[in-house]
Structure 1
């Protein structure tokens, strides 16, 4: 999945934060890499007003429970301000 966004100010660092929302309860989702600047496409620093693309490559493991879940995917800058915050309705089969 590709997430396109345009930062309103220069960005030096990006943190990826993901939660699964089940029955409105947020559960942190562990990621192997939370440094968004080490994404395979996205490199920092980012310039204000220039489109950037964050590529999500997260495998769904067999150990995950079979459940309907809303995935909350957030990218934060070095000041912990949200660059992107999206909710993705999902179902793990």
Structure 2
């Protein structure tokens, strides 16, 4: 074979090697991105827990609503009792 042909073959091989290096670099970058996605995505266990979390949130919401209603009732009762106390105090002052 002539030296020209050998040089062309060698040049082609070098080009292929450069392309392979680029492909390997891109694959490494893709693998890093995939690992990042895998590390941040929800697992099957996480997804299985969603209905339980939803139920817990609903239970907490229901309890919070009950507490709010009870608190409002207590506030009204305290308001009535404080008015009575003021009225009774005024009545006692009138009696004296």
TM range (shorter): under 0.3
TM-score (norm 1): 0.14
TM-score (norm 2): 0.13
Higher RCO structure (Cα 8 Å, ≥6 apart) = 1
Select the structure of larger CA radius of gyration: 2
Query: Of Structure 1 and Structure 2, which has the larger fraction of its residues in strand?
Result: 1
Query: Of Structure 1 and Structure 2, which has the larger fraction of its residues in helix?
Result: 2
